[in-house]
Amino acid sequence: MPIYAPHKPRFLALELGAAIACLILTKMLFDPIAWRFAGPMSMACTIAFIALMARLRSETWSDFGLRGLPGLKSKLWFLPQVLLGMIAIMGAGAVVGLGGEAIGLWDMNATPSGVEDRFAGTTGNLPRYLMWLGLGIVSGGFGEEIFFRGYLMRRVEGILPASALRPLLMVILPALMFGAVHFYYQGLRGLLTIAAIGIAIGTLYLLYKRNLWPLIIAHALVDSIGFTALYLGLEV
Stated pTM of the model:
0.92
pLDDT digits (tens, 9 = 90+) for 193-217: 999 999 999 999 999 999 999 999 9
Between CA 135 and CA 228, with CA 123 as vertex, the angle to 5 degrees is 55
Average pLDDT over residues 124-152: 96
pLDDT of residue 1 exceeding 60: no
pLDDT of residue 229 exceeding 70: yes
Residues 6+ away with beta carbon under 8 Å from 206: 153, 167, 170, 171
Give the residue, 212 or 111, on which the prediction is more confident.
212
At residue 69, the 3 state secondary structure works out as coil
Q: What is the pLDDT of residue 112?
A: 81
Cβ-contact 137, 224 below 8 angstroms: yes
Share of the chain above pLDDT 90, in %: 81
Average pLDDT over residues 161-170: 95
pLDDT digits (tens, 9 = 90+) for 13-56: 999 999 999 999 999 999 999 989 999 999 999 999 999 999 99
Average pLDDT over residues 125-143: 96
Q: Distance between the two ends of the chain, CA-based, in angstroms?
A: 50
| Distance between CA atoms of residues 69 and 190, nearest Å | 33
Q: What is the pLDDT of residue 114?
A: 80
For the chain, the average pLDDT equals 93
What are the residue ranges spanned by the domains of the chain?
Answer: 70-232
